[in-house]
């Protein structure tokens, strides 16, 4: 047994001696590069990966394997889509197309004005009809639905000063109260088809945004007032309001939604600016006043108020 062990010991000693004699030998010896391949080799492997004629595989899978995996994903996503459709269907069953499901917090309404404005600036010269005619056309187009004949045909006369509460199911069509454009008097466009723009006394219409079930003012009509928003208050000397004293009558509320309140037309308040300083940019704020109305929120300039600029030239 000692005989075979000696060569091994000598072999180990020889290797150790070689390392001692040349410690950097391993650094200088070229290593076998097992991973070095040419572009031709890589292209060949890619070609085989895309289609292997021997194993008849495409991208590493046989036709049967591809068929099974595609069938699996088809069934999986079909079940997923079916589950989504079922959940959506169940959710829609709980929703009413006529009224919102949750109305625990009805915010005060915002307001908008007509004519339609770009940048909320009304600027025109009295002596140049081309500068104010677009405003007049916009007013006539908007008030077409308020024509007296149209209102008499579609809507009914209601009792002023009280809410028009209507019972019945949510799907039952509700009646709407008449709001005739003749109520706007000097701003109706009937006596003066230019709505005062040809005289430098423009009319502007204000309306509250619709909120289903909302009863503004808590039994007292909401009124409108206008003032100079910032600057010299004497630049706005006179404003007339129509109808009456510039209030939204309670009989037009509550609103029941577009599907049941089909012929509903929002009540309007016309603001007739009869005496505004000429050749000045006059910033004006028109706001709603009434119980439950918010008109001083800085983060929303349309909540309970609106700010626009009047510039009337000669």
Could you tell me the domains of the chain? 41-88 (no CATH), 111-313 (2.60.40.1660)
| CA 53 – CA 50 distance, rounded (Å) | 10
Task: Give yes or no for a cis peptide into 3 (omega within 30° of 0).
Answer: no
pTM, entire model:
0.72
| CA 215 – CA 254 distance, rounded (Å) | 5
| CA 307 – CA 286 distance, rounded (Å) | 7
* Residue reference for tokens 């108020």: 305
DSSP-assigned states of every residue in 230-266: SS-GGGEEEEEEESTTTEE-GGG--B--TTT-TT---
pLDDT of residue 289: 93
pLDDT of residue 62: 84
Contact 209, 267 (CB under 8 A): no
Alpha helix ranges (H) inside the chain: 2-21, 25-28, 39-50, 63-93, 129-143, 148-154
Extract the tokens encoding 306.
Answer: 């609106």
| CA 112 – CA 305 distance, rounded (Å) | 8
Report how far apart, in Å, the C-alpha atoms of 308 and of each of 54, 118, 121, 123, 264 are. 80, 10, 6, 11, 27
Q: Which long-range contacts (CB under 8 A, 24 or more apart) does 87-96 make?
A: 96/170
Under the banding of pLDDT at 50, 70 and 90, the label for residue 104 is low
Residues 6 or more apart whose CB falls under 8 angstroms from that of 189 comprise 136, 139, 140, 143, 181, 195
- Average pLDDT of every residue of the chain: 86
> At 225, is the secondary structure helix, strand, or coil?
strand
Under the banding of pLDDT at 50, 70 and 90, the label for residue 206 is very high
**Bridge-partner residues for 248, per DSSP?**
222
| CA 216 – CA 290 distance, rounded (Å) | 8
Under the banding of pLDDT at 50, 70 and 90, the label for residue 10 is very low
- Alpha carbon 313 to its chain's center: 36
- Edge-to-edge order in the sheet of strand 269-276: 111-114, 203-208, 269-276, 236-242
Highest mean pLDDT among 11-15, 181-185, 209-213: 181-185
pLDDT of residue 34: 46
DSSP-assigned states of every residue in 33-58: -TT---HHHHHHHHHHHH-BTTTTBB
Extract the tokens encoding 33.
Answer: 């590069």
User: Residue 54 pLDDT more than 90?
Assistant: no
> At 101, is the secondary structure helix, strand, or coil?
coil
User: Residue 143 pLDDT more than 50?
Assistant: yes
* Dihedral in degrees, nearest 10, Cα atoms 311, 209, 239, 236: -40
| CA 81 – CA 89 distance, rounded (Å) | 12
Contact 211, 255 (CB under 8 A): yes
- Least confident interval from 27-36, 136-145, 209-218: 27-36
Side-chain-side CA neighbours of residue 22 (13 Å): 8
């Amino acid at each position: 047994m000692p005989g075979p062990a000696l060569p091994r010991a000598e072999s180990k000693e020889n290797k150790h001696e070689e390392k001692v004699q040349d410690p950097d030998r391993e650094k200088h010896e070229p290593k076998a590069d097992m991973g070095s391949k040419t572009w031709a080799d890589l292209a060949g492997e890619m070609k085989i990966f895309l289609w292997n004629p021997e194993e008849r595989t495409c991208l590493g899978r046989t036709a049967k394997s591809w068929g099974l995996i595609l069938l699996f994903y088809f069934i999986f996503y079909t079940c997923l889509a079916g589950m989504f459709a079922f959940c959506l269907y169940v959710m829609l069953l709980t929703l009413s197309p006529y009224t919102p499901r949750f109305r625990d917090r009805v915010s005060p309404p915002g307001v908008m004005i007509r004519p339609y404005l770009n940048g909320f600036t009304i600027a025109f010269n009295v002596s140049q009809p081309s500068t104010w005619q677009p405003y007049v056309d916009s007013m006539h187009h908007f008030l077409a639905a308020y024509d007296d004949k149209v209102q008499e045909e579609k809507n009914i006369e209601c009792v002023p000063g009280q809410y028009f509460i209507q019972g019945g199911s949510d799907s039952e069509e509700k009646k709407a109260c008449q709001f005739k454009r003749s109520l706007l008097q000097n701003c109706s466009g009937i006596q003066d088809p230019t709505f005062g723009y040809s005289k430098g006394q423009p009319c502007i219409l204000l309306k509250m945004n619709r909120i289903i079930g909302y009863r503004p003012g808590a039994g007292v009509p909401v009124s409108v007032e206008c003032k100079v928003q910032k600057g010299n208050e004497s630049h706005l000397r006179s404003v007339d309001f129509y109808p009456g004293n510039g209030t939204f009558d309670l009989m037009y509320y509550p609103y029941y939604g577009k599907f049941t309140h089909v012929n509903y037309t929002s009540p309007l308040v016309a603001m007739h600016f009869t005496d505004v300083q000429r050749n000045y940019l006059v910033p004006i704020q028109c706001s709603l006043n009434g119980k439950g109305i918010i008109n001083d929120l800085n983060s929303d300039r349309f909540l309970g108020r609106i700010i626009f600029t009047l510039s009337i030239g000669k």
